[in-house]
C-alpha cells in the first residue's frame, strides 16, 4: 500500500478519533503532521495505524507521556501490540506495577465505602430541615 498524505478529517474518519483528540495527540508529541503553507495539517495514511496503537496503549492505562516514549518501540502484529526495543518490557512491567498499586488503593477505598453504606440504618434518616432566614 502506497503511503499518501491525508488531512485531519480523513484521519478522523479512518481512525474513529475526533479531530480535537487528534490535535491533542499532536500537542502531546504522539503525532507529527506536516503543515502546509495554508496551515492545514497533513498526516500520513500510516498515521491511522499509529492512532490505533495510541488508543490501545491508552486503554492499557498508560499516560500520554509514557506513550510518547514507548510508541517508537511498538509494532502491530494483527490485533496485538508487540514491543520491539530491548528495555521496553521492563518499562511496561513498571507501568503494570503502578496500575496494580492504583487498583489496590481503589479496592481499599471501595471496601471503606461499602462499610459506610452497610452501616446505614434500614430506614432512612430524615434530612435536617432547611434553615429559615
Of residues 7, 48, 51, 6, the one with CA closest to residue 25: 51
Chain segment 52-86, per-residue pLDDT in tens = 999 999 999 999 999 999 999 998 888 888 999 98
Residues of the chain with pLDDT under 50: none
Q: Could you write out the DSSP letters of every residue in 40-100?
A: -EEEETTHHHHHHHHHHHHHTT--HHHHHHHGGGEEEETTEEEE-STTHHHHHHHHHHHHH
pLDDT value, residue 122: 80
Amino acid at each position: 500500500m502506497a503511503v499518501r498524505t491525508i488531512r485531519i478529517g480523513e484521519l478522523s474518519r479512518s481512525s474513529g478519533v475526533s479531530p480535537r483528540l487528534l490535535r491533542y495527540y499532536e500537542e502531546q508529541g504522539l503525532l507529527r503532521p506536516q503543515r502546509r503553507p495554508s496551515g492545514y495539517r497533513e498526516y500520513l495514511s500510516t498515521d491511522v495505524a499509529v492512532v490505533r496503537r495510541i488508543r490501545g496503549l491508552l486503554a492499557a492505562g498508560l499516560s500520554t507521556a509514557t506513550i510518547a516514549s514507548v510508541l517508537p518501540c511498538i509494532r502491530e502484529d494483527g490485533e496485538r501490540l508487540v514491543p520491539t526495543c530491548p528495555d521496553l518490557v521492563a518499562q511496561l512491567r513498571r507501568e503494570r506495577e503502578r496500575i496494580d498499586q492504583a487498583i489496590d488503593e481503589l479496592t481499599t477505598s471501595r471496601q471503606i465505602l461499602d462499610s459506610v453504606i452497610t452501616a446505614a440504618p434500614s430506614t432512612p434518616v430524615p434530612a435536617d430541615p432547611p434553615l429559615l432566614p
